[in-house]
Amino acid sequence: MTVVGGVLVIVDLTIARSAVADPYSWSELQNQMYYCFTRWTYVIGAMLIAFSILFSPNPFIKEFLRRPFFRGAGSLCLLNALLTPLVIQLNYNSLPDGLFVTFYVVIALGLANAALITSFSLVLYLLLQYPLQVATSRWTDKYLSQRKTVEKHIAHTENLILSSLASEEEFKLLAA
């Protein structure tokens, strides 16, 4: 699964090199096929790689992905997805003229947008999402939680287990 996903991703990233070098070298049919197939094949390849990592039986990978960095990055994903269209629209739709960019300019603008959006997401997370999450969890724990019921059930189950162990020990003593 990983090999097929890797091949799909690498092919999708490298197949347009000749068209990037000379924008008019491809025919209209080649352009249509490129835009028709590369988006979904790239997504399928990335998903195959992600699934093979996430569902791997290797405990090292699972332990590595449980680190605080990945949990923090996961918290920023939703904010990044919500802010990206807004930042792109504000940056590029307010230009009076068109913007001609080369491959390297696109890479630089993409990295700058990613850094800007991630920093905005971090600020929003620290100022809005985390305090609201803590406040709502306190309220839900107090009024909507079933923690007390679950704790009573666990204590009752533990008592049953301990009493059954005690009766087994007594049985063994009586049988001896």
∠ CA(94), CA(97), CA(99), 5° rounding?
A: 90
Residue-wise pLDDT for 4-52, tens only, equals 999 998 988 888 777 777 778 888 888 888 888 888 898 999 999 988 8
Residues 84-131: pLDDT tens digits?
A: 888 888 877 777 777 777 878 888 888 988 899 999 999 999 999 889
SS3 165: helix
Q: What angle do CA 45, 46, 49 make, to 5 degrees?
A: 90
Provide the pLDDT for residue 47.
Answer: 93
**pLDDT given for residue 171 in this prediction:** 59
Question: Rounded to two decimals, what is the model's pTM?
Answer: 0.54
By CB neighbour count within 10 A (0-12 exposed, 13-18 middle, 19+ buried), where does 166 fall?
exposed
Whether 176 shows a pLDDT value over 80: the answer reads: no
DSSP 29-59: HHHHHHHHHHHHHHHHHHHHHHHHHHT-S-H
Question: Would you state the structure tokens that stand for residue 149, as one six-digit string?
Answer: 């019921």
Could you tell me the pLDDT band of residue 175, with boundaries at 50, 70 and 90?
low
Alpha helices, H only, the chain: 2-14, 17-21, 28-54, 59-65, 68-92, 103-124, 130-143, 147-175
